[in-house]
Amino acid sequence: MNDFSSALLAALALVLQLDSDLAEIVFLSLKVSLVAVSGAALIGMPLGAALALFRFPGRASIVVFINALMGLPPVVVGLAVYLALSRAGPLGVFGLLFTPTAMIIAQLILVTPIIAALTRQVIDDLWREYEEQFCSLGAGPGQRIMALLWDGRFSLMTAILAGFGRASAEVGAVMIVGGNIDHVTRVMTTAIALEVSKGDLALALGLGIILITLSLVVNGASFLISETARRNHG
């Protein structure tokens, strides 16, 4: 109990002092995860929609495969990206290892299957509802995808938030490809891991409380945005 109260105090102290190191870490966490999730949405949503709309050989296997990829272990993705970006690896010439870009790539790989799989489910349901209309209107494949994604946009918000939750909460991948370098690649989760290894459990938990609060703020904001939009559009 003592640990929890000192953790709360540590979190409050950090926030009230407007600690510049903390602000930097929070900003980098948001930057990495938001960029990764945006990229994953750009790839995952059309991919998921296409899987829902089109029938082709091997479709079922791909659907199962993408569903399974939702459970990708972050540490394995981190290791794979690490080996690819290492100077000794195939993409080594770009010198991307231990940069925020490397962290974004790893999170993009983690999050894309989640958004693709959840999108497929949402669009699949919508498609059953509208299939006849689309066929009678003679809409092309691109038009169908765009129209259904737009129609399902409020449900798809949940897919994106699930992706953001995964990205902002994982530590295994960003630790390996980012290296937890102070002022360069240190994010909330790696900072927490570092404080744990220093034995400063109260500060670690304090940082954890701030991370959970951030997640609440992001989710709350997206809820308000979609509620407002829903009301305006009827």
Partner 1 sequence: MMRLKLPILVLLLTLAIPATAEDPFIIVASTTSTENSGLFAHILPLFEKKTHIQVRVIAAGTGQAIRLATSGDADVLLVHHLASEKAFVKEGHGVKRHDLMYNNFVIVGPKSNPASITMGNSAATAFTHIANTKMPFVSRGDDSGTHKKELGIWQVAGIDPRNASGSWYREAGAGMGAVLNTAAVMNAYTLSDRGTWLAFANRGDLMILNAGSSKLLNPYGVILVNQNRHPHVKAELGQKFIDWLIGPDGQKAIASFTINGEQAFFPADKKSP
In degrees, rounded to 5, the angle at the alpha carbon of residue 176 between the alpha carbons of residues 95 and 186 is 85
**Per CB under 8 A, 198 contacts partner 1:** yes
Q: Minimum Å distance from CB 32 to partner 1?
A: 9
Q: What are phi and psi of 71, to 5 degrees?
A: -95, 20
State which of residues 201, 209, 212, 218 lies at the interface with partner 1 (CB under 8 A): 201
**Per CB under 8 A, 38 contacts partner 1:** yes
Q: By the 8 A CB rule, do 173 and 106 touch? A: yes
State which of residues 46, 151, 153, 209 lies at the interface with partner 1 (CB under 8 A): 153
Q: Minimum Å distance from CB 150 to partner 1?
A: 9
Q: Minimum Å distance from CB 68 to partner 1?
A: 27
Pick between residue 51 and residue 208 the one whose CB is nearest to partner 1.
208
The binding track of 51-90 with respect to partner 1, each residue x by CB under 8 A or -, is -----------------------------------xxxx-
Q: Minimum Å distance from CB 134 to partner 1?
A: 22
Per-residue tokens: 233: 């559009």
Distance separating alpha carbons of residues 168 and 29, to the nearest angstrom: 7
> Residue 84 CA to chain centroid, in angstroms?
21
Pick between residue 70 and residue 160 the one whose CB is nearest to partner 1.
160
Give me the half-sphere count of Cα atoms (radius 13 Å) on the Cβ side of residue 201: 5
**Per CB under 8 A, 231 contacts partner 1:** no
State which of residues 98, 116, 126, 205 lies at the interface with partner 1 (CB under 8 A): 98
209: nearest Cα among 83, 26, 62 = 26
The beta-carbon contacts of 82-86 under 8 Å, at least 24 apart in sequence, are 82/176, 82/177, 85/177
Q: Minimum Å distance from CB 31 to partner 1?
A: 5
Q: Minimum Å distance from CB 196 to partner 1?
A: 7
**Per CB under 8 A, 140 contacts partner 1:** no
Q: What are phi and psi of 89, to 5 degrees?
A: -95, 175
State which of residues 19, 125, 131, 182 lies at the interface with partner 1 (CB under 8 A): 182
Distance separating alpha carbons of residues 85 and 103, to the nearest angstrom: 11
Q: Which residues contact 188 (CB under 8 A, 6 or more apart)?
A: 25, 26, 29, 168, 207, 210, 211, 214
Sites of contact with partner 1 (CB under 8 A): 30-31, 34-35, 38, 86-89, 92, 95, 97-98, 100-101, 153, 179-182, 184, 194, 196-201, 225, 229, 233
